[in-house]
Amino acid sequence: MSGRWPRLLAGDWLLLLLLLLACGASFRWLWWQQGNAGELVLSANGQQFTHWPLRLDHRFELPGPLGITVVEVRAGRARIVSDPSPRQYCVQQGWLSRAGETALCLPNRTAISIGGQSQDDSLAF
């Protein structure tokens, strides 16, 4: 034994390196990639209004029984800018960026949700 601190053997280093790589890969595949890939699905009145790729910036106006819901797509994210619903829940939700995230404006019967390009592909274990 040399010094106070114990020495790591070759296998330890190898395992540690593999784990650090796995950490990096898991961040890369589960956090960053999933947020960017995919498209936005806009619904009004219970039906799909349109869908739009998140990488293209755009503004939408969704018609509902109470008025117009304004949706903004910018820099790979989407949000509801304004909505006539009384409690403004969907506006307060802010930016959506991950697959599966949804903002519902129930009183106005409008909704946006983010779908992955192929939902389960990146999460197949």
Partner 1 sequence: MIHWHSDSRELLASNHDHHLASLAACGIVLALLDAALPSPLPGIKPGLANIVTLYALARLGWRAAVWVSLLRILGAGLLLGSLFTPGFWLSLAGGGGSLLLLALAQWLPRRGFSVISYSLLAACGHLGGQLLLARGWLIPHQGVWLLLPPLLTAATVTGLLNGLFTLQLLESATDET
Q: How far apart are CA 91 and CA 69, in angstroms?
A: 10
Smallest distance, partner 1 to C-beta of residue 13, A: 9
Which of 106, 98, 104, 105 shows the shortest CA–CA distance to 122? 98
Beta carbons within 8 Å of 55's beta carbon, 6+ residues apart = 36, 76
Q: Residues binding partner 1: what is the number (CB under 8 A)?
A: 24
Structure tokens given for 71: 């949706």
| Segment near partner 1 (CB under 8 A); pick from 19-27, 41-49, 51-59, 83-91 | 19-27
Chain residues 63-122 in contact with partner 1, contact rule CB under 8 A = 98, 100, 120
Smallest distance, partner 1 to C-beta of residue 32, A: 10
Q: What is the residue-wise DSSP string for 91-109?
A: HHT--B-STT-EEEETTTT
User: Residue from 2, 3, 11, 86 that binds partner 1 (CB under 8 A)?
Assistant: 11
Q: How far apart are CA 78 and CA 95, in angstroms?
A: 5
Told to check if 125 binds partner 1 by CB under 8 A, we report: yes
User: Residue from 16, 56, 75, 106 that binds partner 1 (CB under 8 A)?
Assistant: 16
Question: Which residues of this protein are in contact with partner 1, per CB under 8 A?
Answer: 1, 5-6, 8-12, 14-16, 19-20, 22-23, 26-27, 30-31, 98, 100, 120, 123, 125
